[in-house]
């Protein structure tokens, strides 16, 4: 039995899809995920009512943050991620409004810029030895090459769980928790 339905498409980015779990998302990936989740929420609504931006943004930002956390890279606050998404969403809406009038070069330029990493890392330092960020905001040395790759060529992928590093990280989190409790007393 053939499926006659056309896949849902974004007028700018094409076919919409959920976020990939093995690479850090680009602006394009985030907007495709936004549209995909908007459609999913709309389908689930009995009234077929259009979902609000904040409803969809909450879902999308949690997914994006999850991918970054899976990569063991510290991120900015949840509120800041929503602000970044809202700003880019507004930019996309404005592009869609003027899509027919827009020159081909402008469309191409916008699409090229959308392939840049949706960077929510709390540390923007390129040279790890010169990083002066607070410890909780620093990118682990093991992840620095991955982050630089994702900001550029995007050839690396997120792998499975590193049990030894996870054990060390859990110990660090426990230590931080007990340190915070002792400071409160």
pLDDT digits (tens, 9 = 90+) for 149-173: 998 998 998 887 777 777 777 787 7
How much is the average pLDDT of 119-130?
86
Q: How far is CA 100 from CA 27, 89, 131, in A?
A: 22, 19, 45
Residue 181 has pLDDT above 60, yes or no: no
The pLDDT of residue 168: 77
32, exposed or middle or buried, with CB in 10 Å at 0-12, 13-18, 19+? buried
Residues 6+ away with beta carbon under 8 Å from 36: 8, 16, 17, 18
The percentage of the chain sitting over the pLDDT mark of 90, rounded to a whole number, equals 49
**What integer pLDDT is reported at residue 185 of this predicted model?**
54
pTM, two decimals, is 0.81
- In a 13 Å sphere around the CA of 167, the CA atoms on its Cβ side amount to 3
Per residue in 70-93, pLDDT tens?
Answer: 998 999 999 999 999 999 999 999
In whole angstroms, give the CA distance from residue 159 to residue 150: 14
Q: Which of 154, 137, 132 is nearest to 145 (CA)?
A: 154
Contact status, residue 51 vs residue 58, Cβ threshold 8 Å: no
Most confident segment among 2-6, 65-69, 125-129: 65-69
Q: What is the mean pLDDT of the chain?
A: 87
């Amino acid at each position: 039995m053939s499926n006659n339905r056309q896949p849902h498409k974004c007028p700018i980015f094409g076919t919409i899809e959920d976020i990939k779990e093995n690479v850090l998302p680009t602006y394009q990936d985030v907007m495709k995920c936004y549209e995909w989740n908007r459609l999913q929420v709309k389908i689930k609504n009995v009234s077929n009512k259009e979902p609000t931006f904040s409803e969809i943004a909450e879902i999308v930002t949690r997914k994006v943050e999850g991918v970054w956390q899976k990569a063991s890279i510290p991120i900015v606050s949840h509120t800041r991620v929503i602000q970044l998404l809202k700003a880019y969403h507004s930019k996309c809406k404005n592009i869609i409004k003027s899509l027919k009038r827009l020159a081909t070069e402008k469309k191409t330029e916008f699409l090229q810029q959308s392939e840049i990493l949706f960077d929510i890392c709390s540390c923007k330092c390129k040279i790890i030895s010169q990083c002066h960020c607070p410890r909780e905001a620093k990118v682990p040395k093991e992840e620095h090459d991955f982050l630089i790759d994702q900001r550029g060529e995007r050839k690396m992928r997120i792998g499975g769980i590193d049990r030894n590093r996870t054990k060390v990280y859990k110990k660090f989190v426990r230590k931080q928790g007990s340190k915070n409790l002792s400071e409160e007393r």
